Amino acid sequence: MRALRLHGVGDLRLGEEAPPEPAPGELLLRIQAVGLCGSDRHWFTEGAIGDAALTRPLVLGHEFVATVEDGPRAGERVAVDPARPCGACRPCREGNAHLCVNDCFAGRDSVDGALRTLMAWPDHLAYTLPDDISDRDGPLLEPLGVALHALDLAHAGPGTTAAVFGCGPIGLLLVQALQDAGATVSLATDVLPHRVEAAQRLGAAGATPAGEAAPIGDVGVDVAFEVAGEDAALDDAIAAVRPGGRVVIVGIPSGERTSFAASPARHKGLTLLACRRMRAEHLPRAIELVDAGRIELAPLVSASYALDDFPSAFADLRERSGLKVIVTPQEGGGVAP
């Protein structure tokens, strides 16, 4: 099989490797499409993400869809949960497997991800992909799951007013998920004009460049989401939310620290919540929402590349010139849509 490994900052190498041998309870998956994420950008440009640093050549990629290669599910198209919790630690026992202290996550630490042609992964983490969801769009189901987790943390529903600071793919999926839940997206901002335009197209009422937002009503929105991984975006989120409101931190910063002005948050008595990945129920829920036509994935895919063309794919990711970049590991490659 072919696998793309990160050996150091900006040092990706494509090579031939022995195919994986599935353990009991695992499927052999033929990877069809992989979405490149902001966290992959951190790995590529910094050799680290948060408190995790590159210690060995690593296969990136945790947003992916595949076809089951053999066994009873052979030929089935699946979307895959990239988190493999231990099931035994206290968070797992309490129903919070996304907070597992022993978890294995595809494309992080010692666990290789999906930027390869074949991969072994647990059967119970592979969910049937409906025919109406294409391989090209399917990798966006995992970030939609993250957006749904953030939505639930915010307690957003009918009548909620919201602001989204950072309109990359997860921010844009949040814009859609909020509206599907009956909330009003009063404001959405980003430093990149094409992302602001995408937020406008997807229904954000007050999409505007970051730093140019007008005051929101008399007291602010009910909930604000920081999805940029930048302190300035978090400060804007705190400024935008009403007294007693909620701020959900979704973005991952460069380095290990996030900071904000304490006085506004304290004076407003805000609740700040940190969103980590998604819960087990969110990927099936994401599939249902997209299959029902309630959330669109296709408008977020800006380019698709063959695995052989990984330099172009990661240049696109590094420059953030589009929205979601897709890599297709199988022969035949990809084309810009």
183 and 309, same domain (yes or no): no
* Per-residue confidence (pLDDT) for residue 49, from 0 to 100: 84
160 and 205, same domain (yes or no): yes
- C-alpha distances (whole Å) from 268 to each of 97, 223, 244, 264 are 32, 12, 6, 6
Instruction: Look at residue 309 and tell me whether its pLDDT is greater than 90.
Output: yes
44 and 114, same domain (yes or no): yes
Instruction: Look at residue 208 and tell me whether its pLDDT is greater than 90.
Output: no
Mean pLDDT value across residues 290-302: 96
List Cβ neighbours of 63 (8 Å cut-off, separation of 6 or more): 34, 35, 36, 37, 82, 114, 139, 140, 141, 142, 143
Check residue 182 and give left, alpha or beta (phi > 0: left; psi -120 to 50: alpha): left
* Per-residue confidence (pLDDT) for residue 219, from 0 to 100: 81
120 and 201, same domain (yes or no): no
127 and 150, same domain (yes or no): no
Instruction: Look at residue 336 and tell me whether its pLDDT is greater than 60.
Output: no
162 and 269, same domain (yes or no): yes
310 and 194, same domain (yes or no): no
183 and 238, same domain (yes or no): yes
Alpha-carbon distance of 97 to 8, in angstroms, equals: 30
Report the Cα–Cα distance between both ends of the chain, in Å, rounded: 27
- Number of structural domains (the chain) is 2
* Per-residue confidence (pLDDT) for residue 253, from 0 to 100: 82
The answer to whether position 164 is within a domain reads yes
The answer to whether position 25 is within a domain reads yes
Q: Give the confidence band of 333 by pLDDT, cuts at 50, 70, 90.
A: very low
The answer to whether position 12 is within a domain reads yes
Domain span at residue 62?
2-137+297-328
Mean pLDDT value across residues 104-120: 93
- CATH of residue 16: 3.90.180.10
Count of alpha carbons within 13 Å of 237, Cβ hemisphere only?
A: 31
221 and 110, same domain (yes or no): no
| Average pLDDT score over the chain | 92
pLDDT above 90 covers a percentage of the chain that reads 81
Question: For 126-173, what is each residue's pLDDT tens digit?
Answer: 999 999 999 999 999 999 999 999 999 999 999 999 999 999 999 999
